[in-house]
């Protein structure tokens, strides 16, 4: 992959930052988006080359549209749009407030919807493009019950992604991919509403990865578009076993928890 214009939300740290550095090192133009402009500019300086930092609150449609317009004004096109921004929350289902659920849905689901609705018309005009939505293995298996709202938002993202792909069936050069990381060693846990749950049962089942390892998988998806990929191959087997025997799998999880 080289010479593409890649927009990445949530690019100030974690997976987004790591991905920006990987695709930048490959000779691509990188547009970084997040709310923390100072951190974005630091990442852009580290990457060098053709980069653009755009302060963006992805929960505001106007900000997302501004991000697209800034990228087009600077570089004339967008080839890849990565909806990566996300927010964790640690609250059991029965303790969730409406405000907490709304906030997680705004950050994890609606922001991706804004991204898709904002950039796909550009892709349709060009006749090509690639949307990549970053989900989570927690959208498929309830490893960490207190992550219920986060998992629900990502499960909703999964089906929105699949249906967008169906909607674009008549446009074979516009790709829509879903990427599902497992446990990733970043500061994401520190930023979660309600703190960090016990995630060791997840790591024990599928292991953990660095942000750089996940970024390499996403970069490969850019090079070789496919509908869906787990960044850790072990996750796919765990998800398959879960759906083969939901009750039995959950019973084992409770024993280990």
CA distance 108 to 99: 14
Tell me whether strands 208-210 and 183-185 are parallel, antiparallel or unpaired.
parallel
The catalytic residue positions are 150
11-59: per-residue pLDDT in tens?
999 999 999 999 999 999 999 999 988 899 999 999 988 999 999 999 9
Entry pTM: 0.93
Which letter, b or e, does each residue of 84-122 get, where b requires 16 or more Cβ atoms within 10 Å of its Cβ?
Answer: bbbbbbbbeeeebeeeebebbbbbbbbbbbbbbebbbee
pLDDT above 90: residue 256: no
Ordered by start, the domain boundaries in the chain are 5-256
163-211: per-residue pLDDT in tens?
999 999 999 999 999 999 988 765 655 556 666 655 554 455 567 788 9
| H-state helical runs in the chain | 14-25, 37-47, 61-75, 98-105, 111-126, 148-167, 188-191, 200-206, 211-223, 233-244, 246-256
Q: What mean pLDDT is predicted for residues 143-168?
A: 95
User: CA torsion sign, 145 to 146 to 149 to 150?
Assistant: negative
Tell me the average pLDDT of the chain. 91
Looking at the domain covering 5-256, what would its CATH class be? alpha beta
What percent of the chain is modeled with pLDDT above 90?
A: 77
- Confidence (pLDDT) at 152: 97
- Confidence (pLDDT) at 205: 52
End-to-end CA distance of the chain: 42
């Amino acid at each position: 992959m080289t010479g593409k214009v890649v927009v990445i939300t949530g690019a100030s740290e974690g997976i987004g930052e790591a991905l920006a550095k990987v695709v930048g090192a490959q000779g691509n133009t990188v547009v970084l988006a997040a709310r923390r402009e100072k951190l974005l500019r630091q990442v852009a300086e580290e990457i060098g080359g053709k980069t653009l930092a755009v302060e963006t609150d992805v929960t505001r449609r106007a900000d997302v549209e501004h991000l697209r317009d800034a990228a087009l004004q600077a570089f004339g096109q967008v080839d890849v749009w990565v909806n990566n921004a996300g927010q964790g929350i640690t609250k059991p289902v029965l303790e969730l407030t409406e405000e907490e659920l709304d906030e997680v849905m705004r950050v994890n689901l609606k922001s991706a919807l804004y991204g898709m609705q904002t950039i796909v018309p550009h892709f349709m005009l060009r006749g090509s493009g690639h949307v990549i939505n970053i989900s989570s293995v927690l959208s498929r298996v309830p490893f960490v019950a207190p992550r219920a709202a986060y998992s629900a938002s990502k499960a909703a993202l999964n089906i929105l992604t699949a249906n967008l792909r169906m909607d674009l069936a008549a446009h074979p050069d516009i790709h829509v991919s879903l990427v599902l990381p497992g446990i990733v060693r970043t500061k994401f846990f520190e930023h979660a509403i309600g703190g960090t749950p016990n995630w060791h049962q997840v790591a024990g089942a599928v292991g953990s990865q660095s942000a750089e390892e996940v970024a390499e998988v996403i970069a490969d998806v850019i090079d070789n578009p496919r509908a869906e990929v787990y960044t850790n191959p072990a996750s796919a087997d765990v998800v398959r076993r879960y759906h083969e025997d939901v009750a039995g799998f959950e019973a084992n999880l409770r024993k280990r928890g």
